[in-house]
Amino acid sequence: MKRLFLCMVLTFITSVWAMSQDSSGKGKSDTRTITGCLSQGDNAKEFNLKADDGSTWEVRSSTISLANHVGHKITATGVVSNATAHNMKEDAKDMAHDTGATKNNNEHGHLKVTDVQMVSDSCSQ
């Protein structure tokens, strides 16, 4: 009987832990789809995507002409650069935010864009 109770408690704790892992709303996959406003970055091949959810992304692409979409609201799909390190950094930011050490918890990362869909030819920001 004690073993059954222990197994039930362990199962419950594991379930709660698993559900809480992505409570921030930040995705953990290597591929992301982000909608927001595209602006020119620091050089001709770098662009900034300010997402609707408040996150910011430095984006670039060797296959898509992003310059044609500057000033547009777009949906960009791509691969997160150094996804493992990115997710560890975001987890650390989540912990700092949860303890009250930081107020802003918006995601920031680098994305290599593989597909772009124009949502609007202007940004409403």
Looking at CATH, the fold of the domain delimited by 30-91+108-125 is given as: OB fold (Dihydrolipoamide Acetyltransferase, E2P) (2.40.50)
Alpha helices per DSSP H over the chain: 2-20, 83-98
Interval 93-113: pLDDT, tens: 456 546 665 555 566 788 899
As a whole number, mean pLDDT of residues 25-43 equals 79
Interval 11-25: pLDDT, tens: 666 554 444 444 334
Q: Quick one: how far is CA 61 from the chain centroid?
A: 17
Mean pLDDT over the full length of the chain: 74
Per-domain boundaries in the chain: 30-91+108-125
Pairing status of strand 31-40 against strand 47-51: antiparallel
Residue 75 structure tokens: 């949906």
